[in-house]
Amino acid sequence: MRISTLKRHVRESMKSLGRNGWMTFASISAVTVTLLLVGVFLVVMFNMNHFAKKIENDVEIRVHIDVTANNQDKQTLRAQIEAIPQVKEIRYSSKEQELKNLIKSFGEEGSSFRLFEQDNPLSDVYVVKTEKPTDTIKVAKQIEKFQFVHKVNYGQGQVEKLFSTLKAARNIGLVLIIGLLFTAMFLISNTIKITIFARRREIEIMRLVGATNGFIRWPFFLEGLWLGVIGAVFPIVSIMAVYYNIYKFLEPKITIPFVELLPFYPFMWQISLLLLLIGACIGVWGSMMSVRKFLKV
């Protein structure tokens, strides 16, 4: 395509936006509201996913070693655990260290457990982490079958509920975002349909003088692109401003270990680029759907 032809298509698409002022305004408003909702959902989802990964990464398997096991038995058990493909890391914790950790976890009240320092009832432990948090249950069940394993703890019952809840939250968020995107595509498509109807005589004349299908379609594709890109500007600015203030206010006050907001940079620039691309894509896609279905060229 020649530069002069492209300039003509850009000029025509801009004129069309001006000629259909109210529909252009309605379409941009619809895209703006839709992308604003999509942007909010994306920010919430990405942060939830960040929290979820932190929680998932804290999930570990605690393998309590039988008190009858000698050093050789412990090494054999370790080798068996390391041979499991899904195991990422294994760490040994002696019963003395386990008692120290227990005392520390109870704070001032933990001093009462010092009575057991002379006759420690706890077991030596292997702390196991898996490559994927979702492999935890499977690996734990394998380890339970090994000799010299007294018991295996991984938060039975709670871990299953945790993974199930996180999966459901991610799926619901994804469905909502897809639904909003299709709504925006539908609105842009309707705007382009009205534009095509209003310019049907002009299109017919262009056909009669030999204009190709591509020549006629291009302004409509560009019009959809402008609608999507312009509609993305306000959501981007609004979400960046709000997230900056929320991050600045909350970050110093959050003390829960796994609750940590994604840093403003580069997260907000990534969201901005994503919203701009989504706006452009749904604009062009909306135009293509309309042109293919309603423009008989």
Chain segment 32-86, per-residue pLDDT in tens: 888 898 899 889 888 888 887 777 777 889 999 999 999 999 999 999 999 999 9
168 and 285 within one domain: yes
98 and 8 within one domain: no
232 and 197 within one domain: yes
36 and 164 within one domain: yes
124 and 74 within one domain: yes
Question: Between β-strands 149-153 and 87-93, what pairing exists: parallel, antiparallel or unpaired?
Answer: unpaired
Domain that holds residue 87: 59-153
Tell me the per-residue pLDDT of 180-190, one tens digit each, with 9 for 90 and over: 777 767 776 67
**Greatest CA separation found in the chain?**
101
Domain of 72, CATH number, reads 3.30.70.3040
**Residue 243 pLDDT greater than 70, yes or no:** yes
| pLDDT reported for residue 269 | 94
166 and 50 within one domain: yes
202 and 123 within one domain: no
**How far, in Å, CA of 296 to CA of 287, rounded?**
14
Which H or E element spans position 169? Answer: helix 158-198
**Residue 233 pLDDT greater than 80, yes or no:** yes
172 and 117 within one domain: no
Mean pLDDT, the chain, rounded, equals 83
**Residue 294 pLDDT greater than 60, yes or no:** no
Residue with tokens 């309707």: 190
**How far, in Å, CA of 160 to CA of 172, rounded?**
18
Total count of domains within the chain: 2
Does this model's pTM top 0.95? My answer is no
Higher pLDDT, 220 or 92: 92
- Residue 126's DSSP bridge partners are 63, 92
**At 192, which amino acid appears?**
I
| pLDDT reported for residue 219 | 83
**Residue 259 pLDDT greater than 80, yes or no:** no
User: What's the mean pLDDT in 267-288?
Assistant: 87
141 and 93 within one domain: yes
